[in-house]
Amino acid sequence: MNRTKTYGILRNEKGLTLVELLAVIVIIGILAAIAVPSVSGLITKSKHQAHRANAQMIVDAARMKVVAEDLASTAITLKELHQGGYLEKIPEDPENKGNTYHPDESVVDVVKSTSGGTVSYSYTITLKGNRDGGSLVAYFNGVSEEQIKSEPINTGSSGSTSN
């Protein structure tokens, strides 16, 4: 009788079978396949929003320089904005971690116009950064202030522009 009891206990042991274990692994794989692209998309979108925020901040700094120094139509580099104290530091390029936008190639073009005694200014930005290989990429190239939020961003990678 003792032998039958032992056989019954061993037979009722709880554990995972190989099929159950494989099913769990497959489910985890499917979840990972869904999660990785969506996280990647979020990272890309946040980089693009950072480019847009940086571009707007640079245009705002140029606006302060134009008002403070009573400038007419001119081109203002990122380096001039930083050296003049209109930007605390040159913004970091989100596509090239640890590096800033190119200080001499990133430019805000200011055009002053007068109509019926009213003076107005328009601002366009060219925002450039260095790629890892040292080549320049223009994230924005002559984009007006009104278009910063909607203009596609050139990231210099395959599929070079995107929103």
146 belongs to a structural domain: yes
Do residues 79 and 103 make contact, with C-beta atoms less than 8 angstroms apart?
Answer: yes
Q: What is the pLDDT along the chain (163 residues), one digit of tens a residue?
A: 555 555 555 566 677 788 999 999 999 999 999 888 888 889 889 999 999 999 999 999 999 999 999 888 899 999 999 999 999 999 999 988 888 999 999 999 999 999 888 989 999 999 999 877 678 899 999 999 999 999 999 887 644 455 5
Backbone φ and ψ of 105, nearest 5°: -90, -20
pTM: 0.75
136 belongs to a structural domain: yes
pLDDT at 6: 57
Provide the residue range defining the domain that includes 42: 18-162
Instruction: Give the CA-trace dihedral at 54, 56, 62, 63, to 10 degrees.
Output: -150
SS3 call for 155? coil
11 belongs to a structural domain: no
6 belongs to a structural domain: no
Q: Are strands 136-144 and 74-77 parallel, antiparallel or unpaired?
A: unpaired
10 belongs to a structural domain: no
Residue corresponding to tokens 């924005």: 140
Domain count, the chain: 1
7 belongs to a structural domain: no
Do residues 50 and 82 make contact, with C-beta atoms less than 8 angstroms apart?
Answer: no
88 belongs to a structural domain: yes
29 belongs to a structural domain: yes
Q: Which two tokens stand for residue 94?
A: 């989100």
Residue 93, CA distances (Å) to 37, 88, 124, 129, 144 in order: 23, 15, 19, 7, 20
